[in-house]
Amino acid sequence: MDIKLETRCIHGNPSDSLQDENRAISFPIYQTASFSHIKPGHNESGFDYTRESNPTRSRLEEVVSSLEGAAGTVAFASGMAAISACFELFAGGDHIICSEDLYGGVIRLNRVIHLKNGVDTEYVDTTDLQAVRAAIRPNTKAVYIETPSNPMMNITDLRGCAELAHEYGLLLIVDNTFLSPYFQNPLLLGADIVVHSGSKFLAGHNDTISGFLCAKDIELVNKFRLIAKTTGGMLAPFDSWLVMRGIKTLAVRMERQQENAKKVAEWLLKQKQITNVLYPGLKEHKGYEIGVRQTSGFGSMISFYTDSKETALQMLQKVKIVIFAESLGGTESLLTYPALQTHPDVPQEMREHLGITETLLRLSVGLENVEDIIADLEQALDWSRDERV
């Protein structure tokens, strides 16, 4: 039976899923550190110690695997814990090609941890596959990308990048946070590993932090399980349950947030204080054609430039329904200042090169009535115009 994604958000793959023995509709929270045994050498329940595995987390991992088309998934306490665990695949002397436009936390991870450990990370414009090819060295082990990227919304050709990576025996790792498995399935397009900040669209309610590693190959999944068990960054049972509950409404949230985002992007385009709108769903976006080929939607993340730093700062302070806050993907619309919030640790030269300037704002469009969102942005812009001399 071909079970559609909306159904899998709610039930996972009913054929092979872990079911509650008491047939609870909402899978229980197994709030326990350890599991008892009856006989030495036998593990009746299959569970031992929650750092290693826990039924609530295992159930969530099954649901996420089913959405991403993965052989298996490992859930972590944050997106950064998942990404750090993923980089444990590599050793000193290895070279990793990364999209140059990445969530700032990953750039910090490269500088603070990977550099010290001798893992050489190099930033490349991965929207240009020739540039990726030119960067490959004998010690290159993987290509790590975000598409759409944070915050510049650049689109990398996933099929092309997977073919290129595999031609050289490299792993393709894709951060799928911005579109979620509802709109994009990198593993089905050739990627080897998908990374998620589950704190965003998957959990969807701005109420918990989580992360995932999903892999196509069971050997990679087993490596991730060993790394998670050894380093201990796993997701707690209650948070696993929260994310699982959030995923049940992923499909409807993604659809409505995208519908809202399209209207907001169109509106932003018409405002004279907004000088550029970066939304992959706009035909004029440079990644639009590739996006159409590899995704089933464009999501609800928009970055835009204001005409001055003053306009940007005043918008941030003046919004009333939209919230000036870091993060994305939840029910609430959030307006973020990348230069100060998500990318402050990125060296200024690199920020300037990427276009992360003091006039760039990032908007995660939520589930409020879109007329209220637009009216709120409008009053924030009007106020800044009135106050200007």
Ligand X SMILES: Cc1ncc(COP(=O)(O)O)c(C=O)c1O
Give contact residues for ligand X (rule: CB under 6 A): 78-80, 103, 105, 146, 150, 175, 177, 197, 199, 209, 211
Cα separation, 218 vs 159, in Å, equals 21
Cα separation, 258 vs 265, in Å, equals 10
Q: Which of 8, 59, 200, 253 is catalytic?
A: 200
Closest residue to bound ligand X by CB: 79
- Residue 39: CB atoms within 10 A of its CB come to 7
Q: Which is nearer to ligand X, 70 or 370 (CB)?
A: 70
Q: Which is nearer to ligand X, 136 or 202 (CB)?
A: 202
Cα separation, 86 vs 93, in Å, equals 16
Q: Which of 57, 59, 103, 192 is catalytic?
A: 103
Q: Where are the beta strands (DSSP E) in 16-170?
A: 72-76, 95-99, 120-124, 140-146
**Nearest distance from C-beta of residue 341 to ligand X, angstroms:** 9
175 is catalytic: yes
**Nearest distance from C-beta of residue 202 to ligand X, angstroms:** 10
DSSP states of 60-83 as a string? Answer: HHHHHHHHHT-SEEEEESSHHHHH
Strand ranges across the sheet with 120-124:
72-76, 211-215, 193-197, 171-175, 140-146, 95-99, 120-124
**Nearest distance from C-beta of residue 80 to ligand X, angstroms:** 4
51 is catalytic: yes
| Helices first, then strands: H and E counts in the chain | 14, 12
Cα separation, 253 vs 60, in Å, equals 19
Give the closest residue to 73 by CA, choosing from 59, 87, 89.
59
343 is written with which tokens?
């990318």
Q: Which is nearer to ligand X, 108 or 245 (CB)?
A: 108
Q: Which three-class secondary structure state does DSSP give residue 306?
A: strand
**Nearest distance from C-beta of residue 121 to ligand X, angstroms:** 15
User: Torsion angle of alpha carbons 364, 370, 372, 373, nearest 10°?
Assistant: 20
Q: What is the Cβ-side half-sphere exposure of residue 263, based on CA atoms within 13 angstroms?
A: 17
**Nearest distance from C-beta of residue 327 to ligand X, angstroms:** 6
Q: Between the CA of residue 172 and those of 119, 162, 190, what are the distances in Å? A: 16, 6, 8
Q: Which is nearer to ligand X, 121 or 273 (CB)?
A: 121
Q: Which of 94, 175, 192, 376 is catalytic?
A: 175
Burial of 282 (0-12, 13-18, 19+ CB in 10 A): middle
Q: Which three-class secondary structure state does DSSP give residue 15?
A: coil
**Nearest distance from C-beta of residue 363 to ligand X, angstroms:** 14
**Nearest distance from C-beta of residue 372 to ligand X, angstroms:** 25
* Active-site residue set: 51, 103, 175, 200
